[in-house]
Structures are given as structure tokens and as C-alpha cells.
Amino acid sequence: MAKEVNINNLPELLSITQACQVLGVHPNTLRNWDKEGRLKAIRIGVRKDRRYKKEDILRMLRVGLKEVEAEEKFESLEEGFLSRLGYLFSSLVSSRFLVTILWILVVGLLIYAIVILLS
């Protein structure tokens, strides 16, 4: 029978065995989740042993894997959107853009002045 784990007394970093006991999954499942980015492990020591943050394990228990995946996809989309928005803004504010706007204003003012003078 599997050893019972008290989630109230978990260390801040859990070994792969401890994380498996808490989540009720096989160690290979945790390894795959780490490779896929679903539940990232921290590597420690010379052997690069996996450790899992207590908060990540508890979040996985609380909301389940599907919700964690959806949350991560949303964060990824949000980051992508914000980076594209930042790029768009920076390109709009570039010096070439400002020079173009100034030329449009100058030409517009010249056209306006000619129309006023001719009327």
C-alpha cells in the first residue's frame, strides 16, 4: 500500500518520489510533464535531481492539470500579445514614423495655405 502523505507538512521542494505520492502519478509522468513544461522541475546537485516546488504541486492538486494547462496557454498568449503590441508601439514611435508624420503635416499645411490664398 502507498505511503500516505500529509500535504500540510510538505517541504518547500519535493523530491520526485514525494511529488508522485502527493499527485498519485508515476515518476515517468512527472518527468514527461517536466519535458512538456506542464510542471517544471528545479534541477539540483551534480546529478541534476528533480525537485518540485510545493506551490506548484498544491496548485496542480487544487485546480487540476487541465486548468493549469489552460492557465499556462493563456499566459503564453498574453505574453505574445503584449510583446507584439510593444513592438508595434515602438515601430510607430520610431524616428522614421515621426518624420513621415511631420511631412504629412507640413504638406497639409501648405495645401491649406494655398487654398486660403486662392479663395
* pLDDT mean for each 10 residues of the chain (119 residues): 64 92 90 87 93 90 69 71 69 68 87 87
At the top level of CATH, the class of 7-118 is mainly alpha
Q: Model pTM?
A: 0.51
Q: Where are the domains of the chain?
A: 7-118
Partners of 115 in the β-ladder:
none
